[in-house]
Structure 1
Amino acid sequence: MHILVSNDDGINSEGIYALAMELRKIADVTVVAPEKQMSAVGHAITVQYPLRVNPFYKNGELFGYAVDGTPADAVKLAVKALLKDKKIDLLISGINHGTNTSINIIYSGTVSAATEGTILGIPSIAISLATYAPNPDFSFAAKFAVKLAEFVFKNGLPKGTLLNVNVPPVSENEIKGVLVTRQGSAFWDDWFEIRKDPNGRDYYWLAGRFINYEQGDLSADHTAVQNNYISITPIHFDLTNYKAIDELKKSGLENLLKSLDKD
């Protein structure tokens, strides 16, 4: 089995190192990841500038390849150029340092790396450790990623679907189990703090408060994690709201050109 590993925290992050080292016990692993922190860049790709790739060494050994682009760039470049002559059986993005549930999914570079893998026809997983605390322990999440990789390699995934995994930041014996969940309903109540730089000029720093609308509903990803369950959410990149199609047709939206003629 050959596994491509990427992330959005950068190739020198502790999460990707823990993931790659654990996966190398069961598979041939290639790491291609952004050279620096790229959290919350979503599915951005680089089209106006060239991309550069450099070998990245850790503890004196080649660990992977650092790309001066986004997570989606790293995956696309790996599949279409660096590894174009080598079959990739699975892509795993992570282990992200932070939660990627509910509304966070649309901003997440971790999820977008896995989405790009899915677009390119590779069974893909995004995995996050749901904490922002400094120096977290990624070891259990890495071990779980190995089990999940073996499961997906054996069973496959529905076409066009990736798994978004969030692991609670608790000890292994506190984990209550695994739940297949849906994307929960939540949002960020954002604001900008205005600060002064050393030259007295204003700059803005984004801050916010995460609000979960579904406290107590274990079918929702964020609530499951809050209750010490590993959340696995199947997601896809078809953003169509199918229920709204008939409603919009009935509203007369398709007759806009006719109304323009009357005007």
Structure 2
Amino acid sequence: MRLLLTNDDGIHAEGLVALENIAKVLSDDLWICAPEYEQSGASRALTLSDPVRVRKLDARRFATSGTPTDCVMLAISELMEGAKPDLVLSGVNRGANLAEDVTLSGTVAGAIEGMAMGIPSIALSQTGWPTGNDDIFAPSERFAPGIIRKLVETGWPKDVIINVNFPARPVDEITEVEVTRQTFRDINVRHAEKRTDLRNREYYWMGFRQERSSPAAGTDLKAIYDGKISVTPLHIDLTHLETVHRLKSVLGGVPPKA
């Protein structure tokens, strides 16, 4: 396979090294295009008002001043010589991309852009911090190649990406993969912390509280809480069909008068 690797943590991120190690198990035809600097939380942002600079690091490795979406679009349409990639891998993100956070994730967005350009795409994220003597990305590097191989053999619809999250557990304690659905937390974990700089001016630092929700069985959050690898098929169609059918009965046809 010809593989395109990207991320949102930047060209120098440890997770990109882990992704290269994963990809080398699968192929020797690897191309890399990642942001010059961290773009966490960039979601599907496309750079429209500024030029995007590309820095060529070697024959198949590029860094851009843009977002993960910019990187994938440029790599496929401009930078990769010869054939398009057979698969886009985005990650390995340092931190999970679960529940409603997938709509904020630059890692997931990189995979979505690959899908939008007709390439099967997988997002990979690693939960938590090092456990014992394990490197933080040890679970990803150990289990991702086999999961990716099985996914490619099986295939999935063209309008779907695969979102894979690895738990923060020692490798020998991870014994199960679960195919899950995306959920929504029953608590709000995002917050802004108010701080003061050295000139006594106020500013805010955005972040996430480390609080657990109470997810249902079969969801991405519950699988990670239980120490399982979560594999979630996602698609970009956000239409709520039940509400579409309900609203058609009151808004269909002639527009209502004021």
Q: TM-score, normalised by structure 1?
A: 0.89
Q: Which runs of 4+ in 1 moved over 3 A?
A: 132-136, 210-215
1:18 aligned partner? 18
What aligned pairs does 1:49-198 form with structure 2 within 5 A after superposition? Answer: 49-56=50-57, 64-83=61-80, 85-131=82-128, 136-186=135-185, 187-198=187-198
Once the two structures are TM-superposed, the CA of residue 14 in structure 1 deviates from its matched residue by 0.6
Indicate the RMSD between aligned Cα atoms, in angstroms. 2.2
Q: Are 2:26 and 1:7 equivalent residues in the alignment?
A: no
Aligned position for 2:199: 199
Superposed CA offset, 1:47-88 (max 9, x none): 11111111236xxxx772111100111001101111263231
Q: Where does the alignment leave 5 or more consecutive residues of structure 2 unmatched?
A: none
Change in CA separation of 1:141 and 1:122 when aligned onto 2, cut-off 3 Å:
same
The whole-number CA distance in structure 2 between the counterparts of 1:185 and 1:212 is: 12
Q: Secondary structure at the match of 1:103?
A: helix
Does 168-177 or 130-139 show the bigger shift?
Answer: 130-139
Cα distance in structure 1, aligned partners of 2:137 and 2:213: 28
Relative to structure 2, which stretch is displaced further, 205-214 or 171-180? 205-214
1:41 is aligned to 42
Displacement of 1:26 = 2.6
Q: Which amino acid aligns with 1:77?
A: L
Distance between the aligned counterparts of 2:43 and 2:222, measured in 1? 23
Gaps of 5+ in 1: none
* Bigger fraction of residues in strand: 1
Percent of residue pairs identical: 35
Q: Normalising to structure 2: TM-score of the pair?
A: 0.90
- Asked if 2 retains the 8 angstrom alpha-carbon contact of 1:8 and 1:34, the reply is yes
